[in-house]
Amino acid sequence: MIDPAFLDELARFDASLQRRVESRLQGQQQSTAVGEGLTFSDHRRYSPGDDTRRIDWRVYARTEELYVKQYEAERNLTVHVLVDASASMDYPDRDDPAHKFEYAAKLGLGFAVLAAADHNDFRVSLVGDTFERIDRDRSTFGEVRRLLDTFNETTPSGEADLARACEDYASTIDSKSLVFVASDCLDDPGAIEAGIRALSKNDVTLAQVLSPAERDPPVQGDTIFSDPERERERRTYFGNRVRRQYRDRLTGHRDAVEAAADRTGTRYVGVDTGTDFFDAFAAAWVE
Q: What is the pLDDT of residues 80-125, one digit of tens each?
A: 999 999 999 999 988 899 999 999 999 999 999 988 887 889 999 9
Does the structure show a pLDDT above 50 at 21? no
Per the model's pLDDT, the better-predicted residue between 284 and 19 turns out to be 284
Check the CA dihedral 152-100-161-227 and report its sign: negative
Same domain, residue pair 198 and 229: yes
Same domain, residue pair 155 and 65: no
Same domain, residue pair 48 and 179: no
Same domain, residue pair 170 and 114: yes
Same domain, residue pair 16 and 153: yes
Reported as a single tens digit per residue, the pLDDT across 198-236 is 999 999 999 999 999 999 998 889 988 888 877 788 898
Distance CA 67, CA 58 (A): 10
Confidence of residue 27 (pLDDT cuts 50, 70, 90): very low
Whether residue 278 lies inside any domain: the answer is yes
Whether residue 101 lies inside any domain: the answer is yes
Domain residue limits at 44: 40-72
Whether residue 119 lies inside any domain: the answer is yes
Whether residue 62 lies inside any domain: the answer is yes
Same domain, residue pair 64 and 183: no
Same domain, residue pair 63 and 151: no
Same domain, residue pair 262 and 179: yes
CB 189 within 8 A of CB 92: no
- Average the pLDDT over 240-256 and give the result: 95
* pLDDT given for residue 180 in this prediction: 97
* pLDDT given for residue 72 in this prediction: 54
Same domain, residue pair 186 and 126: yes
- Average the pLDDT over 38-50 and give the result: 75
* pLDDT given for residue 200 in this prediction: 93
Whichever domain contains 117, its CATH number is 3.40.50.410
Whether residue 10 lies inside any domain: the answer is yes
Predicted TM-score (pTM) of this structure: 0.80
Same domain, residue pair 51 and 140: no
Domain boundary among 19, 54, 72: 72
Same domain, residue pair 228 and 177: yes
* pLDDT given for residue 146 in this prediction: 96
Cβ-based neighbours of 119, under 8 Å, separated by 6 or more: 32, 34, 74, 75
- Average the pLDDT over 180-195 and give the result: 96
- In sequence order, the β-bridge partners of residue 209 are 271
Whether residue 35 lies inside any domain: the answer is no
Same domain, residue pair 186 and 61: no
The total number of structural domains in the chain stands at 2
CA Rg value for the chain: 21
Whether residue 172 lies inside any domain: the answer is yes
Mean predicted lDDT score pLDDT of the chain: 86
